[in-house]
Amino acid sequence: MTNSFPPIILASKSPRRQELLKLMGIDFRIALKEVDETFPEGLTPPEIALYISERKAKAFDELVDDEIVITADTIVVINGKILGKPEDDKHVIEILSTLSGNMHEVITAVSLLQNGHIHSFYEVSEVFFKAITREQIEYYIKNGNPMDKAGAYGIQEWIGLIAIERINGSYTNVVGLPTHRLYQELCNFK
Protein backbone atom coordinates (compact mmCIF):
# COMPACT_ATOMS: atom_id res chain seq x y z
CA MET A 1 0.00 0.00 0.00
CA THR A 2 1.43 3.36 -0.95
CA ASN A 3 0.88 6.29 1.35
CA SER A 4 -1.07 9.37 0.44
CA PHE A 5 0.89 11.74 2.65
CA PRO A 6 2.09 15.13 1.40
CA PRO A 7 5.77 15.17 0.46
CA ILE A 8 7.89 14.16 3.47
CA ILE A 9 11.25 15.53 4.52
CA LEU A 10 13.21 13.52 7.06
CA ALA A 11 15.52 15.90 8.90
CA SER A 12 17.85 13.23 10.22
CA LYS A 13 21.16 11.77 9.18
CA SER A 14 20.41 8.58 11.12
CA PRO A 15 20.58 5.61 8.74
CA ARG A 16 18.31 3.72 11.15
CA ARG A 17 15.53 6.33 10.90
CA GLN A 18 15.92 6.41 7.13
CA GLU A 19 15.63 2.62 6.92
CA LEU A 20 12.56 2.55 9.17
CA LEU A 21 10.74 5.12 6.98
CA LYS A 22 11.63 3.08 3.88
CA LEU A 23 10.30 -0.08 5.54
CA MET A 24 7.06 1.81 6.29
CA GLY A 25 6.67 2.50 2.57
CA ILE A 26 6.89 6.25 3.07
CA ASP A 27 8.49 8.29 0.30
CA PHE A 28 10.76 11.01 1.63
CA ARG A 29 13.79 13.12 0.96
CA ILE A 30 16.49 14.01 3.45
CA ALA A 31 17.35 17.57 4.45
CA LEU A 32 19.77 18.44 7.20
CA LYS A 33 20.43 21.53 9.30
CA GLU A 34 22.83 21.87 12.19
CA VAL A 35 20.90 22.61 15.38
CA ASP A 36 22.13 23.45 18.86
CA GLU A 37 20.97 20.56 21.05
CA THR A 38 21.49 22.22 24.42
CA PHE A 39 18.40 22.58 26.58
CA PRO A 40 17.28 24.59 29.59
CA GLU A 41 17.84 23.16 33.05
CA GLY A 42 14.92 21.78 35.00
CA LEU A 43 13.27 19.84 32.17
CA THR A 44 12.21 16.22 32.65
CA PRO A 45 13.72 13.65 30.24
CA PRO A 46 10.60 13.59 28.01
CA GLU A 47 10.57 17.40 27.97
CA ILE A 48 14.24 17.41 26.94
CA ALA A 49 13.61 15.08 24.00
CA LEU A 50 10.56 17.14 22.95
CA TYR A 51 12.49 20.41 23.29
CA ILE A 52 15.33 19.20 21.06
CA SER A 53 12.99 17.59 18.50
CA GLU A 54 10.94 20.79 18.24
CA ARG A 55 14.09 22.90 17.98
CA LYS A 56 15.17 20.73 15.04
CA ALA A 57 11.75 21.23 13.40
CA LYS A 58 11.78 25.02 13.91
CA ALA A 59 15.02 25.19 11.92
CA PHE A 60 12.92 24.33 8.83
CA ASP A 61 9.98 26.64 9.58
CA GLU A 62 10.81 29.23 6.90
CA LEU A 63 11.93 26.66 4.32
CA VAL A 64 8.87 24.48 3.79
CA ASP A 65 5.18 24.91 3.16
CA ASP A 66 3.06 21.93 2.24
CA GLU A 67 5.77 19.37 2.88
CA ILE A 68 5.85 17.62 6.26
CA VAL A 69 9.18 17.75 8.04
CA ILE A 70 9.88 14.91 10.47
CA THR A 71 12.46 15.47 13.20
CA ALA A 72 13.31 13.26 16.15
CA ASP A 73 15.49 13.05 19.21
CA THR A 74 16.27 9.92 21.21
CA ILE A 75 17.64 9.91 24.73
CA VAL A 76 18.59 7.13 27.11
CA VAL A 77 17.82 7.57 30.80
CA ILE A 78 18.87 5.47 33.79
CA ASN A 79 17.98 6.43 37.35
CA GLY A 80 17.06 9.94 36.17
CA LYS A 81 20.45 10.47 34.47
CA ILE A 82 20.65 11.05 30.72
CA LEU A 83 23.27 8.98 28.91
CA GLY A 84 24.23 10.76 25.72
CA LYS A 85 26.37 9.66 22.83
CA PRO A 86 29.81 8.50 23.96
CA GLU A 87 32.83 10.72 23.49
CA ASP A 88 35.45 7.95 23.29
CA ASP A 89 36.02 4.25 24.01
CA LYS A 90 36.47 4.90 27.75
CA HIS A 91 33.07 6.62 27.80
CA VAL A 92 31.49 3.63 25.96
CA ILE A 93 32.83 1.33 28.68
CA GLU A 94 31.44 3.63 31.38
CA ILE A 95 27.99 3.88 29.76
CA LEU A 96 27.58 0.18 28.97
CA SER A 97 28.86 -0.77 32.43
CA THR A 98 26.12 1.45 33.87
CA LEU A 99 23.47 -0.25 31.70
CA SER A 100 24.77 -3.74 32.55
CA GLY A 101 22.30 -5.64 34.71
CA ASN A 102 19.86 -2.74 34.86
CA MET A 103 16.70 -1.35 33.30
CA HIS A 104 16.84 1.95 31.45
CA GLU A 105 14.38 4.01 29.46
CA VAL A 106 14.66 5.03 25.83
CA ILE A 107 12.64 8.14 25.02
CA THR A 108 12.15 9.23 21.43
CA ALA A 109 10.38 12.50 20.70
CA VAL A 110 9.14 13.18 17.17
CA SER A 111 8.00 16.49 15.72
CA LEU A 112 5.98 17.02 12.56
CA LEU A 113 6.15 20.46 10.93
CA GLN A 114 3.86 21.65 8.16
CA ASN A 115 2.84 25.18 7.19
CA GLY A 116 4.32 26.61 10.38
CA HIS A 117 2.42 24.18 12.62
CA ILE A 118 4.41 21.77 14.82
CA HIS A 119 2.87 18.68 16.36
CA SER A 120 5.07 16.66 18.74
CA PHE A 121 4.78 13.42 20.68
CA TYR A 122 7.04 10.97 22.43
CA GLU A 123 7.25 7.29 23.30
CA VAL A 124 9.02 5.60 26.21
CA SER A 125 10.37 2.04 26.11
CA GLU A 126 11.88 0.20 29.07
CA VAL A 127 14.95 -1.83 28.14
CA PHE A 128 16.30 -4.56 30.43
CA PHE A 129 20.01 -5.38 30.04
CA LYS A 130 21.50 -8.56 31.43
CA ALA A 131 24.87 -8.25 33.13
CA ILE A 132 27.62 -7.97 30.52
CA THR A 133 31.37 -8.32 30.91
CA ARG A 134 34.13 -5.85 30.17
CA GLU A 135 35.34 -8.24 27.44
CA GLN A 136 31.91 -8.15 25.77
CA ILE A 137 31.92 -4.36 25.89
CA GLU A 138 35.42 -4.21 24.39
CA TYR A 139 34.36 -6.66 21.65
CA TYR A 140 31.44 -4.37 20.81
CA ILE A 141 33.72 -1.33 20.69
CA LYS A 142 35.98 -3.11 18.18
CA ASN A 143 33.23 -4.74 16.11
CA GLY A 144 30.16 -2.55 16.53
CA ASN A 145 29.32 1.11 16.17
CA PRO A 146 28.60 2.58 19.62
CA MET A 147 29.85 6.12 18.96
CA ASP A 148 26.85 7.60 17.14
CA LYS A 149 24.16 6.28 19.46
CA ALA A 150 22.55 7.57 22.63
CA GLY A 151 23.41 5.10 25.36
CA ALA A 152 26.35 3.78 23.29
CA TYR A 153 24.45 0.85 21.78
CA GLY A 154 22.11 -0.17 19.00
CA ILE A 155 19.36 -2.65 19.89
CA GLN A 156 19.71 -4.13 16.40
CA GLU A 157 23.49 -4.61 16.77
CA TRP A 158 25.52 -7.38 18.41
CA ILE A 159 25.42 -5.94 21.93
CA GLY A 160 21.65 -5.50 21.74
CA LEU A 161 21.20 -9.04 20.49
CA ILE A 162 23.22 -10.61 23.31
CA ALA A 163 22.49 -8.23 26.20
CA ILE A 164 18.85 -7.15 26.00
CA GLU A 165 16.66 -9.58 27.90
CA ARG A 166 13.38 -7.81 27.16
CA ILE A 167 11.73 -4.51 26.42
CA ASN A 168 8.44 -3.01 27.52
CA GLY A 169 7.25 -0.77 24.73
CA SER A 170 8.09 -0.20 21.11
CA TYR A 171 11.14 -1.90 19.60
CA THR A 172 11.39 0.70 16.83
CA ASN A 173 11.30 3.43 19.46
CA VAL A 174 14.54 1.99 20.83
CA VAL A 175 15.97 1.94 17.30
CA GLY A 176 15.17 5.67 17.11
CA LEU A 177 11.71 6.15 15.58
CA PRO A 178 8.42 4.84 17.03
CA THR A 179 6.99 3.78 13.68
CA HIS A 180 3.53 2.65 14.84
CA ARG A 181 2.90 5.99 16.56
CA LEU A 182 4.49 7.99 13.73
CA TYR A 183 2.17 6.39 11.16
CA GLN A 184 -0.88 7.10 13.32
CA GLU A 185 0.21 10.71 13.90
CA LEU A 186 0.91 11.27 10.18
CA CYS A 187 -2.57 9.98 9.32
CA ASN A 188 -4.11 12.37 11.85
CA PHE A 189 -1.84 15.29 10.91
CA LYS A 190 -2.92 15.51 7.26
Tens digits of residue pLDDT in 111-137: 999 988 999 999 999 999 999 999 999
CATH of the domain at 41: 3.90.950.10
Per-residue pLDDT of the chain (190 residues; tens, 9 = 90+): 446 888 999 999 999 999 999 999 999 999 999 888 889 999 999 999 999 999 999 999 877 678 999 999 999 999 999 998 999 999 999 999 999 999 999 999 999 999 889 999 999 999 999 999 999 999 999 999 899 888 999 999 999 999 999 999 999 999 999 999 999 999 998 6
Catalytic residue, candidates 36, 65, 73, 88: 73
The CB-side HSE value for 80 (13 A sphere, CA atoms) comes to 3
- Nearest-angstrom CA–CA distance, 162 and 140: 11
1 within domain boundaries: no
In a domain, 48, yes or no: yes
Strand intervals (E) in 24-92:
29-30, 68-78, 81-83
How many domains does the chain fold into?
1
Is 73 annotated in the active site?
A: yes
Q: Tell me the residue range of the domain where 74 lies.
A: 8-189
Does the residue 182 lie in any domain? Answer: yes
Q: Is the residue at 3 inside a domain?
A: no
Note the pLDDT tens digit of each residue in 45-64. Answer: 999 999 999 999 999 987 76
Residue 172 lies in a domain: yes
CA pair distance 160, 145, nearest whole angstrom:
12
In a domain, 2, yes or no: no
Residue 47 confidence (pLDDT): 97
Q: How far is CA 187 from CA 3, 26, 68, 183, in A?
A: 9, 12, 12, 6
- Does residue 153 lie within any of the structural domains? yes
Report if residue 35 sits inside a domain: yes
